[in-house]
Amino acid sequence: MKKYILTTAIIFSFVLSWSCSNDEDIDKNNSIFVDSPVEQTEFDKWLLDNMVYPYNIKVQYKYKDIEAGSSYTLAPPSVEMGKKLTKLLKFLWLDAYEEVGDVDFVRKTAPKVIQLIGSPAYNPDGTATAGTAEGGVKITLYNVNGFVDDPVSLNDKYFGVIQHEYTHIVNQLKDYDPGYGLISEGDYKSGDWTKLSEKDALDAGFITSYSSKNPGEDFAEVVSKYLTKGKDWWNGKLNQASADGKAKLEEKLGIVIDYYKSAWNIDFNELYEVVQRRSQEVQYIDIDNLYP
């Protein structure tokens, strides 16, 4: 047995020595492990020029399981819908903040990845998740294949979501006044927010039932609804609320306005005017040719 092991060791040493000494015979210019080149489409080039280079944002519209997660059964977006929505993301969201602030603000606060999913993300309770923000670096938008290019539908389906999720990222970078959460302290519903009617929510000082989930969602809903729904909608909700609920909502909006000014030097009322103006301009825009 010992003789066999010794013989094997000698043969192995010889083979190893020979392979190393004949290194010059290896064809290093060719390999069986070849990465297939990925052809860039015109849209890919547009994304580089308009999203990656100016903002360092990667838009993922080609479906990848590892990026989409395993909580839902999902489908990729069509390229056509992905193009349209991405161009409007720049026009209605990034360019709006850049117009009021500057490009450095957008670079500091924008997520590094925007994931577009074609199908809705249905939850076990029957609700559908419209979008998510992860760790301040990624926003996922669902139901991109349901894209409709009119201002109301855009805000309801996508830009209310993007403003909400973006607010979470901005808040993670610089927190808002903790006094915000004290305004409705004791009224937050956590997992039971779906049981709160719209009227009860307004009477308790929440602009939507979802706002009652926790202070962070509350803050993001105030920002999102005010910017995308408009003052007439906002004032209509205030008029439906009880006197106490109305006072709480007005106090919350005041803290939001102060936060953007003190934390980011952003005039929130000016931002509102820019978002509203751009939302109305969408109906006159040829989205396919919005940007070169």
Instruction: Answer whether residue 34 is part of any domain.
Output: no
Residue 72 has pLDDT above 80, yes or no: no
Does 73 score more than 90 pLDDT?
no
Reported pTM:
0.80
> How far from 125 is each of 121, 129, 194, CA to CA, in Å?
12, 11, 10
Q: Which residue has the higher pLDDT, 14 or 173?
A: 173
Does the residue 4 lie in any domain?
no
SS3 208: coil
Region 191-214: mean pLDDT is 93
- Check whether 89 has a pLDDT greater than 80: yes
Identify the weakest region by mean pLDDT among 42-51, 55-64, 249-258: 55-64
Q: Answer yes or no: is 148 within a domain.
A: yes
Q: What's the number of domains the chain is made of?
A: 1
Categorize the per-residue pLDDT at 70 as very low, low, confident or very high, splitting at 50, 70 and 90. low
Mean pLDDT over each residue of the chain, to the nearest integer: 85
* Torsional class of 103: left (φ above 0), alpha (ψ -120 to 50), beta (otherwise): alpha
In the prediction, which pLDDT does 35 show? 47
Instruction: Say if residue 69's pLDDT is above 60.
Output: no
159 within a domain of the structure (yes/no)? yes
Instruction: Tell me if 145 is assigned to some domain.
Output: yes
pLDDT at 32: 46
- pLDDT the model gives residue 4: 41
Assigned domain for 16 exists: no
We report the CATH number of the domain holding residue 284 as 3.40.390.70
Burial of residue 69, with CB atoms counted within 10 A of its CB: 0-12 exposed, 13-18 middle, 19 or more buried: middle
Residue bearing the bigger pLDDT, 49 or 62: 49
The tokens for 19 are: 């392979």
Judged against a pLDDT cut of 70, whether residue 37 lies above it is answered with: no
Q: Provide the residue range defining the domain that includes 67.
A: 43-289
Query: With pLDDT > 70 as the criterion, what percentage of the chain qualifies?
Result: 84
For residue 124, tell me if it sits in a domain.
yes
151 pLDDT above the threshold of 60: yes
